[in-house]
Amino acid sequence: MNAVSRLTAKELNLAARTVFAEAATEGLNGQMAVAQTMYDQLHHNIIGADGSGFGKTLEEVIKNAYTTPTNQDIRGSSCLEAVIRVFLEGQRIFTDHYVYFFMSDRGSSYWRNYWDTHYVNMGKLKNHTFWGVAIPDDEKTQPFARYVASVDDPDGWTFVYEEAGS
Residue 1 lies in a domain: no
Give the pLDDT score at 21: 52
| Percent of the chain at pLDDT exceeding 70 | 0
Task: Give how far Cα 117 sits from Cα of 5, 104, 113, 126, 138, Å.
Answer: 34, 18, 8, 25, 19
Residue 3 lies in a domain: no
Residue 4 lies in a domain: no
Name the residue with higher pLDDT: 37 or 78. 37
98 contacts: CB under 8 Å, gap ≥ 6: 134, 135, 139, 140, 162, 163, 164, 165
pTM: 0.24
Number of domains the chain is built from: 1
Closest C-alpha to 81, from 33, 128, 47, 131: 128
Give the pLDDT score at 146: 29
Give me the domain span that covers residue 125: 9-162
DSSP state of 118: G
Range ranked top by mean pLDDT from 44-53, 132-141, 151-160? 44-53
- Count CB neighbours of 17 within 10 A: 19
What would the pLDDT profile of 45-102 be if each residue is shown by its tens digit? Answer: 555 444 444 445 544 544 444 443 333 333 333 444 444 444 444 333 332 333 344 4
Residue 25 lies in a domain: yes
Question: Mean pLDDT of all residues in the chain?
Answer: 43
